[in-house]
Amino acid sequence: MASPCELAILAIQISVPYPAKALSYDDYRGTAPPFPANYTSPILPSSSGPPGPDDNLFQNVLAAEWIIFNFYQQAVEVFNASSFTALGFPNGTYDRIQEIRDIEAGHLRIFQDSISNTSVKPGSCAYEFGFGSDPTNFLAKQIFIEVSSMVFATGLVQQAQASITKGALVAIGEAETRHAVWALIDIWNADPFGGPIETSYPYANQILDATNQFVVPGSCPAANPIYPNPRQNLPQIFFANGTSGAPGGNITFTYTDPENVPTFEEGRPYFAVFFHGLENISVPFDITTDSTIIPSEFEEKGIILAVISDQEGAPTEDSVLAGPLFLMQQPGQLVGSL
């Protein structure tokens, strides 16, 4: 049952207007975290009963949203307008970052309220994004964060039970898309479009799991469910310096955690499966060199996802042995190697 403190949070939730009815989720400017991010604790169930049909999904996406919110919130705290203008980025850059931060707070609120009162609403952990005080590194990661959230929305839609959940996920993915498009135009002077279709990947929890790289180990509140739930904890892949992330390139995979690497059987075929748009292409994966060739058929647009699988086409979640790796094609391959 909820503590008095948690009930107070619920009471404030009722008194603070809802996103789409309040400008505070757009036009607040300041370094202090806006509501509801000014309360970081998990909110325990306030009533008993069975969970809502999409509670598990919304718990996963709320935990992901805490990561995204904190990415922007940390930037708002570390940088100011001159951090960006000094490097030649447009005058409005810092203002936009605050606006996106507000919008992400609105997403926190929407996801909290989408979890029924019989399930815990996950709280904030501690996060480390590695951009330090480098505005350019932050802006490169911004595209990566936004495009990966667009991709996980495409997978979560495929898990959702209720139609209203599916609509909500598309609408959230669209909001994130606008953030990516803004950056491509204003920050990178790049083509804002990613081809006729963005990448759809069915195993959303694998993408969510990749965002655990930003969570400080052991920092999550004990009442939070495991993130994501369920979690495969697959080996995460990265690519060796000097190899290309572009179509046609020879790519050498590396594993980010030496304690968590796939076990390959000698003599068995393995595949690097690349996803782009609605297509996937499987390429033999050489387990002695950890290398493969990125399919040259794919356009150099948006994002290409790569996984290692023991089956062509990675037809089941369990057939994926490592990944996914995000190969960012816009504004260039730089971002994939962060």
Ligand X SMILES: *[C@@H]1O[C@H](CO)[C@@H](O)[C@H](O)[C@H]1NC(C)=O
Rounded-to-10 torsion of CA 152, 37, 93, 28: 130
Q: Is 296 in the site for ligand X (CB under 6 A)?
A: no
Q: Is 23 in the site for ligand X (CB under 6 A)?
A: no
Q: Is 138 in the site for ligand X (CB under 6 A)?
A: no
What is the spatial distance between Cα 86 and Cα 317, in angstroms, rounded to a whole number? 46
Q: Is 91 in the site for ligand X (CB under 6 A)?
A: yes
CB of 191 to ligand X, least distance (A): 26
Q: Which is nearer to ligand X, 286 or 299 (CB)?
A: 286
Total residues binding ligand X (CB under 6 A) = 27
CA–CA distances in Å: residue 155 to residues 17, 200, 242: 30, 7, 31
Q: Which stretch binds ligand X (CB under 6 A): 77-85, 98-106, 141-149, 323-331?
A: 77-85
CB of 4 to ligand X, least distance (A): 13
Q: Is 163 in the site for ligand X (CB under 6 A)?
A: no
Residue 9's Cβ-side half-sphere holds a number of Cα atoms within 13 Å equal to 22
Q: Which is nearer to ligand X, 35 or 66 (CB)?
A: 35
> Contact letters (x/-) for ligand X, 32-71, by CB under 6 A?
---x--x-------x-------------------------
Positions 225 through 284 that interact with ligand X (CB under 6 A): 241-242, 250, 280
CB of 68 to ligand X, least distance (A): 19
Q: Which is nearer to ligand X, 51 or 202 (CB)?
A: 202
Q: Which of 87, 132, 313, 334 binds ligand X (CB under 6 A)?
A: 313
CB of 24 to ligand X, least distance (A): 7
CA–CA distances in Å: residue 279 to residues 18, 40, 46, 206, 253: 38, 40, 44, 18, 21
Q: Which residue, among 75, 63, 72, 74, has the nearest Cα to 103 in the 3D structure?
A: 72
Positions 98 through 117 that interact with ligand X (CB under 6 A): 116-117
What is the spatial distance between Cα 115 and Cα 53, in angstroms, rounded to a whole number? 9
Reduced to 3 states (helix: H, G, I; strand: E, B; else coil), residue 91 is: coil
Instruction: Report DSSP letters for 236-263, one per residue.
Output: PEEE-TT---STT-EEEEEES-TTS-PP
**249 contact partners, CB below 8 Å, separation of at least 6:** 243, 293, 294
CB of 60 to ligand X, least distance (A): 19
Burial zone of 73 (CB within 10 Å; 0-12 exposed, 13-18 middle, 19+ buried): buried
CA–CA distances in Å: residue 54 to residues 63, 102, 160, 224: 14, 25, 6, 16
By the criterion CB under 6 A, which residues form the site for ligand X?
A: 10, 12, 14, 16, 35, 38, 46, 80-82, 85, 91, 116-117, 202, 241-242, 250, 280, 286, 289, 291-293, 313-315
